[in-house]
Structures are given as C-alpha cells and as structure tokens.
Amino acid sequence: MSPEFNLIHTYFNRKTHHTDLSIGDDAALISVANQQQLAVSSDMLVAGTHFFADAPPYTIGWKSLAVNVSDMAAMGAKPKWITLAIALPHQDATWLEAFANGLFDCAKQFNIDLIGGDTTRGPLTINITILGEVSNGAAVTRSGAQINDDIWVSGELGSAALALAHLLDKISLSESAFNHARNHLQLPQPKLALGLALQDIATSCIDISDGLLADLGHILSASKLGAELDYAKMPIMPEMITEHLKPLVQQCVLSGGDDYELCFTAPKKNQETIIALSQTLNLPITLIGNTTADSELNVLYQGKPLSMHTKGFDHFA
Ligand code: ADP
Ligand code: MG
C-alpha cells in the first residue's frame, strides 16, 4: 500500500450509511431521493487564518465539519455527505488520529458520511465540501426577507470572538468565562435542528460566521431592505452582561466571527411558533430587531444610535 493510500485507509475510511459506493474508487456514488434538491457548499480552513496551527487537532477536525454543517442549517438542508481535501505539512499519526476523531464525532452527531477527498503535502489546509438534501423549493435563502419582519438570532453572540480576544491578550476573561467562550470558538455547535425547523417559519436565514452585522447585511442586500436592531436585546454570555457596553465587547457581539449561530427573519405572526420552537429545541432564540424599508442597518441602544459602529470580518478588507 502506498503511504498516501495507507493514511486514507487508516484515518478516513469509515463505514458509510447513505452511499452506493464510497471511498476507494475514482469517485463516490450517491443517490438523491425523489423531489429533493442537492444543497452543496464548501468551507476552507487555513492554519494561521482560521485556527491556530497548534490548536488541539480534535477541535480542528470538529470545527472543519461543524462550519460546513452550519451552512446546511442556514439553508434548511439536511447534510448527508462530505468530501475532505486536506494538505498536511507532514504525516503525524497522533495529530491525524485526533483530527479524525473530532471530524467523525461531528459526522456521527449529524449522521453524515465522508465519501471521498484528496490528500496532499502542503501547509495545513482543510477544505470540506458538504452535500445535503432539501425538498424542492423548500430551502431558506438570503433573499426572502419582507419589510417589517422580525429579526431573530439563536444562541449567544460574540463568545467565540471574546475567546479569541482573550487568547490575543486584548481582554482578560475569568477562567470560567474563558472556558465557556473557548468552547464556542473551538467546538462550535451548528444549529441544524433549528435550521431544518425554519423551512416553514423563516423568510430568510444565514449562519453567522463573519459577525452579526456583516452576515445580517448579506440578508439585507439580498432582500433589498434595511434593519433596526436593539443592542440591549443581544444575547450574550452571562459573564459579559455587565460589561456589554465596553467597545471591545460591543465589537465582539456585533462583528465577532465564528459564532455559527443562525440569524433569520420571520413575519410577526410567527412569534409564538418561534418561542415554542425555542423551548422544544432547548435553544435560546432571541428577537433582536426588525427589517425596514430603507437600506440602512442601524443599531440602537435605549432608543439612540449606538456610538460604536463596527463592521463584520472581511478577509480582503
Ligand atoms: P485519485 O488519484 O483517483 O484521485 P486518490 O488516490 O486521490 O485517487 O484517492 C483514493 C480514494 O481515497 C478516493 O476514493 C478518494 O476520494 C479518497 N480520498 C483521498 N483523500 C481522502 C481524504 N482526505 N478523505 C477521504 N477520502 C479521501
Ligand atoms: Mg486524488
């Protein structure tokens, strides 16, 4: 066996559940159910840009897949298959085993098959392509928001960015706050059950990877609308509530990346359904504002514009 084949066989070839032909041939074969569309998305993670190269490999494996599942959640699609293209600087068995465990723990949680990929030597880079199914026409896109829809967000905002700020010595969190925030940064939990449930409830949806303002901004430009948000309503980790007006905290909450929460719009008549859904899923879902007819995105605090106005993360800014 060639070393490359051996590596694939040892770490990445596991039992699959919804394939006709999996790893080992020139291509995998899958069947898509009747009346379903394929939802397809890729997310690439580069060491030094998306994670620290020395981060625990288990967390790198988990996060590589979690961020892709989050894109499926945002579309209302059910993820089923992934391919994994990975560049590795060297073959390190301990690293690979932990990475694969993180990846497959996430795959197991969401019932996803790894069906192929590519392996090469190079600076540590992980690219996953994910494929999922969604009933014809049922996907929740960015462009469907209507004037005066409610704007909702799941979970809490800014925690991943706060952990990063702590690691970069920009802020000092208590040990318990840091542990909580670090989990959000390293082991994000994609909100798949929520995304699937939103098919009949939301008019538009996006997952927050580059910060609330940037990602909500994508919904607003696609839907040709503006929005007014109430900063006092933002769901933030309990340890930071008393410090929520500090500029750095505001920046993490409004523009911090890596939250992987869902932000969605829905008609006001769906409020009770959404509150009930929040209880069923045991997941906070918070009403943070509403869409407007103009094209501005305004954040208010106690009725006045919030002085700090930050934008989301842009790789090429
Ligand atoms: P080819 O040269 O035909 O592209 P490869 O030797 O690259 O084939 O891959 C052999 C098999 O292993 C293929 O089924 C491919 O999809 C799979 N594979 C390669 N790398 C990975 C990986 N990192 N994870 C999962 N499957 C992989
Ligand atoms: Mg190949």
CA 118 to centroid of ligand 2, rounded, Å: 5
Best of 15, 104, 119 for a ligand 1 pocket test (most atoms within 8 Å of beta carbon)? 119
Of the two residues 309 and 215, the one the predictor is more confident about is 215
Minimal-distance CA residue to ligand 1 atom 21: 117
Assign 3-class secondary structure to the chain: CCHHHHHHHHHHCCCCCCCCECECECCCECCCCCCEEEEEEEEEEEECCCECCCCCHHHHHHHHHHHHHHHHHHHCCEEEEEEEEEEECCCCHHHHHHHHHHHHHHHHHCCCEEEEEEEEECCCEEEEEEEEEEECCCCCCCCCCCCCCEEEEECCCCHHHHHHHHHCCCCCCCHHHHHHHHHHHHCCCCCHHHHHHHHHCCCEEEECCCCHHHHHHHHHHHHCCEEEEEHHHCCCCHHHHHHCCCHHHHHHHHHCCCCCCEEEEECHHHHHHHHHHHHHHCCCEEEEEEEECCCCEEEEECCEECCCCCCCCCCCC
Best of 8, 65, 114 for a ligand 1 pocket test (most atoms within 8 Å of beta carbon)? 8
Length of the chain: 317
122 to each of 85, 151, 263, how far by Cα in Å? 12, 42, 36
Banded model confidence at residue 311, pLDDT cuts 50, 70, 90: low
CA 27 to centroid of ligand 2, rounded, Å: 9
Check pLDDT > 70 for residue 294. yes
Q: What is the structure's pLDDT at 277?
A: 98
pTM for this entry: 0.94
Q: Which of 282, 278, 176, 181 is nearest to 237 (CA)?
A: 181
Q: What is the structure's pLDDT at 5?
A: 79
For the stretch 189-223, pLDDT in tens is: 999 999 999 999 999 999 999 999 999 999 999 99
In the numeric block, the tokens 């899923």 are attached to: 281
CA 315 to centroid of ligand 2, rounded, Å: 29
Banded model confidence at residue 1, pLDDT cuts 50, 70, 90: low
CA 315 to centroid of ligand 1, rounded, Å: 30
Of the two residues 149 and 295, the one the predictor is more confident about is 149
Q: Which of 104, 264, 266, 270 is nearest to 191 (CA)?
A: 264
For the stretch 260-274, pLDDT in tens is: 999 999 999 999 999
Which ligand has the minimum distance to the alpha carbon of residue 8?
A: 1
Q: What is the structure's pLDDT at 4?
A: 78
Ligand 1 binding site (Cβ under 6 Å of any ligand atom)? 8, 12, 23-26, 84, 86, 114, 116-119
As a whole number, mean pLDDT of residues 46-62 equals: 95
Contact 161, 310 (CB under 8 A): no
Check pLDDT > 70 for residue 314. no
Contact 89, 122 (CB under 8 A): yes
Minimal-distance CA residue to ligand 1 atom 27: 117
